[in-house]
Structure 1
Amino acid sequence: MEVFYYVVFGALAAVVAGLELGKSGKDRVATTSAFNSFKNNYVLVYSLMMSGDWLQGPYVYYLYRQYGFDKGDIGRLFIAGFGSSMLFGTIVGSLADKQGRKRACITYCISYILSCITKHSPEYKILMIGRILGGIATSLLFSAFESWLVAEHNKRGFDPQWLSITFSKAIFLGNGLIAIVSGLFANLLAENLGFGPVAPFDAAACFLAIGMAIIMSSWSENYGDPSESKDLMAQFKVAAKAIASDEKIALLGAIQSLFEGSMYTFVFLWTPALSPNEEDIPHGFIFATFMLSSMLGSSIASRLLARKLKVEGYMQIVFAISAVTLVLPVVTNFLVPPSSVKGGSISFGGSLQLLGFCTFEACVGIFWPSIMKMRSQYIPEEARSTIMNFFRIPLNLFVCVVLYNVNAFPITVMFGMCSIFLFMASILQRRLMVVSDLHKSSTTQEMIGEDEPLNP
């Protein structure tokens, strides 16, 4: 493997280590032992859940290609996953609010384990069923766990500001360190030990089973709307009304859809972007490098949140930077002559794109704890999982449309589209900050108005 990969990985590792070791008192928050125990339990479970997800990441595209499917076939498999997340997401989200978030988290584990098992079959129909199960699991991963955490945190009476500590730690470990180890472990299983590209999926199923056992033994159940009389349609109406009546929630949903839509499109595009002529690239090691970049971003986010900087403010800059990074493949395609040699090592243009992709992943690392913080502030508790999965409908629709037309557009066009959407997210984030400030100002004036008769 070329020195370039090690240099990038080593430089990122040094920066992350420096940030973590250099934390001052302003970057730390005093908490209680009860909260720390609760936080550590959640972070452990979340890390196991994410390890089950990250182990699969580097080899999904590669496994399908090894089974002999072309880019169009693989695109349709990806569409099945995002499509099922779109179709079933709101249903499973509402069931999580009504039937219990703990049960929903267990359902996630079972669904994803079954999805991993299907990867042993080269049959297209079986792989399609696996993608559908994976899509349902993804909806639960990005709604039920966070909903359980917020409700349990509030139920136990912990300081609301401490939520950002759990968010940052979970992302730093689950989306950072665990993802790096998962990428390297997947690379070890599939390539170094020669078990093949299906081995990481077997390992993922094992970690998911361990996490499920911890959830079943240590988590208590919590719910959204306590009313037993509300059916799914009633919950949908509550969620839709909340989104339609509060501009802040609608803006947050649009921002999340634009960013995550671009992010999931990137997951599909990075492999062909770095190896357009079937260059021999270390998929697992590159994936680990991306996750180290994400870890860097979450470390930056933890500092920003600890110092109570306005999330709505700095995220405008993050979205703008991410827009620039995904337009880089378009620029390099024009400025750097593409290689005409099949195979070989990564090209100069590919190296430039890899650096840009690492910057994008750092933005992803900042995004996760920051969007979680904003969701905890703006989304009402009674329909939290339902609303969060409503947000995923346009996101999954966007990704499905892109992947359906994957053979119709050059890869540079798709990157250009993602860049435009990220720039739009930056503009909407600016609007969210303005609306939030206006709401806080009007609320303060109302409180002053109510106090005036008491203070003549």
Structure 2
Amino acid sequence: MIEGIVVLKNDINILSLGLAQTVFECCMYTFVLLYTPALEDSINSSSGSTAPFPLGYLFSAMMLCSMLGSLAFKYLSSSGISTETLLSMALIVSGGSFCTIVLSTNNSAYTIFSFLLFEFTTGMYFPSIGTLRAQAIPEQNRTGVMAFLRVPMNFAVCAILLRVDTLPVSQIFQICSMLCFIGGLTILWRALDPNRAGGYSSVKPEENHEL
């Protein structure tokens, strides 16, 4: 843990990656726990129906979108788009998907589309963050850095879930949207900074964490 703190303190590139990972995965776990009640509320508001929704089909479609996101990452990265750009794109689009969830509470079709879009960005996120981690974090320090980053992520998820009874789901997703935008803009700022120190070294093929 202490080793991870030292590495994060001394390298702003690793710190920006850590921030992006913390905010996205916090939002992802929050989404996993709350998407079902959010969908039920949206269906009740749009149609007044209380019939059970076929969640198995929705989950299958979400996993398909996640796979398509991974394939999109592979195609776009092979087309010359930098991994940093793809990661910032995934974070910003995921923030937009949370915004759509918040704004479409009376339209279940838009809500479902937002869920699928978020899962698509999840498929892009994991190979992006895995590739950049392999490039930026020295192998001997990777375990310590990852252990430290899990602390604020789990703390944030617990803090959000402790407020579920007092905060509407829409407000929680507003927080998730803001966090994703912050993470995406942080990565974009580092990618566009012409004076940034360090950078990302080349990564061996076996260390590239593509899905």
Q: TM-score, normalised on structure 1?
A: 0.40
- In structure 2, how many angstroms separate the alpha carbons of the residues matched to 1:437 and 1:311? 19
Structure 1 equivalent of residue 21 of structure 2: 256
Gaps of 5+ in 2: 45-49, 202-211
Matched, 1:322 2:98: no
**Distance in 2 separating the partners of 1:270 and 1:399:** 14
Q: Is 2:9 the partner of 1:244?
A: yes
Q: Deviations over 1:187-213 (max 9, x none)?
A: xxxxxxxxxxxxxxxxxxxxxxxxxxx
Give CA-to-partner distance per residue, 1:128-176, whole Å, 9 cap, x none. xxxxxxxxxxxxxxxxxxxxxxxxxxxxxxxxxxxxxxxxxxxxxxxxx
2:124 to 363, 366, 372: 366
For residue 405 of structure 1, what is the aligned residue in structure 2?
A: 163
The structure-2 alpha-carbon separation of the partners of 1:366 and 1:317, relative to structure 1 and needing over 3 Å to count, comes to: same
Percent identity between the aligned chains? 31
User: Does 2:63 align with 1:291?
Assistant: yes
Cα-to-partner distance string for 1:289-334 (whole Å, 9 max, x where unaligned): 101010110000011223342111232222221111111222123x
| Residue equivalent to 1:273 | 38
1:407 Cα deviation (Å)? 0.5
Other-structure match for 2:134: 376
8 Å CA contact 1:259–1:421 kept in 2: the answer is yes
Q: Equivalent residues in 2 for 1:48-67 (5 A)?
A: none
Q: Is the 8 A contact 1:295 1:362 kept in 2?
A: yes
Q: Rg bigger for which structure?
A: 1
Q: For residue 425 of structure 1, what is the aligned residue in structure 2?
A: 183
Alignment CA distance shift 1:393-1:279 (3 Å): farther
1:99-144 residue CA offsets vs partner (Å, 9 max, x unmatched) = xxxxxxxxxxxxxxxxxxxxxxxxxxxxxxxxxxxxxxxxxxxxxx
Query: Partner of 1:149 in structure 2?
Result: none
1:266 CA drift (Å): 0.5
Contact 1:294 / 1:364 at 8 angstroms: preserved in 2?
A: yes
Letter in 1 for 2:97: T
Structure 1 counterpart SS, 2:132: helix
TM-score (norm 2): 0.85
Between the aligned partners of 1:300 and 1:259, the Cα distance in structure 2 is 19
The whole-number CA distance in structure 2 between the counterparts of 1:239 and 1:424 is: 22
Question: Aligned-pair distance for 1:271?
Answer: 0.5
Cα displacement (A) at 1:279: 4.0
- Determine if contact 1:273/1:350 at 8 Å carries over to the other structure: no
Q: Is the 8 A contact 1:248 1:436 kept in 2?
A: no
Deviation at 1:434, TM superposition (A): 3.8
For 1:163, the equivalent position in structure 2 comes to: none
Contact 2:85 2:191 in 1 (8 A): yes
Q: CA deviation at 1:254?
A: 0.6
What's the CA shift for 1:432?
Answer: 2.4
Q: How far apart are the structure 1 equivalents of 2:95 and 2:52?
A: 28
| Deviation of the 1:402 alpha carbon | 0.5
SS of the residue 2:74 aligns to: helix
After superposition, the Cα gap between the structure-2 partners of 1:423 and 1:279, relative to the gap in structure 1 and judged at 3 Å, is farther
Q: Secondary structure at 2:166's aligned position in 1? A: coil
Q: Distance in 2 between matches of 1:436 and 1:239?
A: 26
Post-superposition CA distance 1:58-104 (Å, at most 9, x none): xxxxxxxxxxxxxxxxxxxxxxxxxxxxxxxxxxxxxxxxxxxxxxx
> In 1, distance between residues paired with 2:2 and 2:198?
27
Aligned in 2, Cα 1:245/1:261: closer, same or farther, shift over 3 Å? same
